[in-house]
């Protein structure tokens, strides 16, 4: 017979009031409380707490407090991840974040869902749907990502968006609901590489 945790991670209906899940939620609450109480002088402690909280991380990640999550163990993060203030990750299902991903302030990832039927919903049964964010994604502040969404590599999500459906790679998307605005082009790449070259040239001239 499956445990409630197994049902949850397999994206079936489950009860969050299960004792095992309550204990794991309490662990995450304790770690996030300690993380959120660290100061800017305690960067090593902050990094250690972040790595203990999550299921897996790269070596170089940074989460700016305050931060909230349900369990932490169901969050898997690649190298060079940055999350600004007030991010929330409800990880009743798996959250997978690739490398070189940046979150603006108040980005929220919600894997948690509830039955549409009110009678079933009122029993306390709920479910989750995994969220995947691929490599090189930048998500603007105050964005909400809903259950079951995949955001493709190199995507930019405009601030204030509500992402309800998958976003294809190499696009800029924004809005409520979030929609693709345009593709990222070779002209974009050329423009920003020229800007980068100007930046380094100016530094060379100053040295």
User: DSSP per residue over 77-119, as a string?
Assistant: E-SSEEE-TTEEEE-SS-EEE-SSEEE-TT-EEE-EE--SSHH
Residues in contact with 31: Cβ distance below 8 Å, sequence separation at least 6, in sequence order: 49, 52, 53, 72
Residues in contact with 170: Cβ distance below 8 Å, sequence separation at least 6, in sequence order: 152, 153, 154, 155, 183, 184
Tokens of 7: 């049902």
Question: Catalytic amino acids?
Answer: 114
Tokens of 96: 């997978």
Instruction: Let me know: does 69 contact 89? Beta carbons within 8 Å.
Output: yes
Tokens of 24: 């794991």
* φ, ψ of residue 75 in degrees (nearest 5): -110, 125
């Amino acid at each position: 017979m499956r445990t409630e945790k197994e049902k949850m991670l397999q994206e079936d209906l489950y009860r969050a009031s299960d004792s095992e899940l309550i204990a794991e939620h309490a662990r995450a609450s304790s770690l996030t409380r300690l993380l959120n109480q660290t100061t800017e002088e305690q960067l090593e402690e902050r990094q250690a707490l972040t790595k203990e909280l999550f299921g897996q991380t790269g070596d170089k990640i940074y989460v700016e407090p305050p931060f909230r999550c349900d369990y932490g163990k169901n969050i898997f993060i690649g190298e060079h991840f940055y999350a600004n203030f007030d991010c929330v990750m409800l990880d009743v299902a798996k959250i997978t974040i690739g490398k070189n991903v940046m979150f603006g302030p108040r980005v929220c990832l919600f894997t948690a869902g509830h039955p549409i039927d009110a009678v079933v919903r009122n029993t306390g049964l709920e479910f989750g749907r995994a969220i995947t964010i691929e490599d090189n994604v930048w998500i603007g502040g105050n964005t909400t990502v809903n259950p079951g969404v995949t955001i493709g590599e190199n995507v930019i999500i405009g601030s204030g968006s509500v992402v309800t459906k998958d976003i294809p790679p190499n696009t800029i998307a924004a809005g409520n609901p979030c929609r693709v605005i345009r593709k990222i082009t070779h002209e974009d790449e050329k423009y920003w590489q020229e800007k980068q070259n100007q930046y380094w040239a100016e530094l060379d001239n100053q040295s």
